[in-house]
Copies of this chain bind each other. A is one copy, B any other.
């Protein structure tokens, strides 16, 4: 998934170095992915060795040289292949919190209930933030990109809402259990 972003951004915005890629990802994709800078360098080097991108050391003035990477022809092919592979991967979520409920007899019900309530507040806040980011993003991007950006934001909204509803459901279940 990270190689996809790197190849795609290199193709969309032209040759760049790692720090610039990280900045673009942080600004445009912060709600959807949290790629770390060393991870970008790792993939740049790997893809460079594979010939998917080509690095050139630029020495501008008295500055230390920095490596600027450009996507190659075989990189463009690999990019399309990777996109196409994404098409066939299926949804398979893993929720670490399941382990918590699976072993919940080791904690006080009261403690779990309280953390669920905090979780609920957090999710409500997150939903507001996402909606706000959506509005901001849609205001700044070109018209033709809007439908797809809308779909990506919707993806997160649907799942945050689902998580919110599940937390509400769990709270209801556990409270009912406690009383009986």
A interface residue numbers (CB < 8 A to B): 1, 4-5, 8, 12, 29, 32-34, 79-80, 83-84, 86-107, 111-112, 115, 118-119, 122-123, 126, 147-152, 154-156, 158-163, 165-166, 169-170, 173-174, 177
Contact = CB atoms under 8 A, between A and B. Distances in A.
A162 to B, nearest CB: 4
28 contacts: A4-B100, A5-B102, A8-B103, A29-B102, A32-B98, A34-B94, A79-B103, A79-B106, A84-B107, A86-B100, A87-B112, A90-B119, A91-B122, A91-B160, A91-B163, A93-B156, A95-B159, A98-B155, A101-B151, A104-B148, A147-B173, A147-B174, A151-B173, A151-B174, A154-B166, A154-B169, A158-B162, A161-B162
Contacts of A156: 93, 95
Contacts of A95: 32, 155-156, 159
Overall SS of chain A's interface = helix
A158 B112 CA distance: 20
Nearest to A90: B122
A102 B6 CA distance: 12
Contacts of A84: 107, 111
Q: Copy number of this protein in the oligomer? A: 2
Given A33-B94, A86-B97, A154-B170, A148 B102 contact: yes
A123 B159 CA distance: 14
Contact of A99 (B8, B111, B118): B8
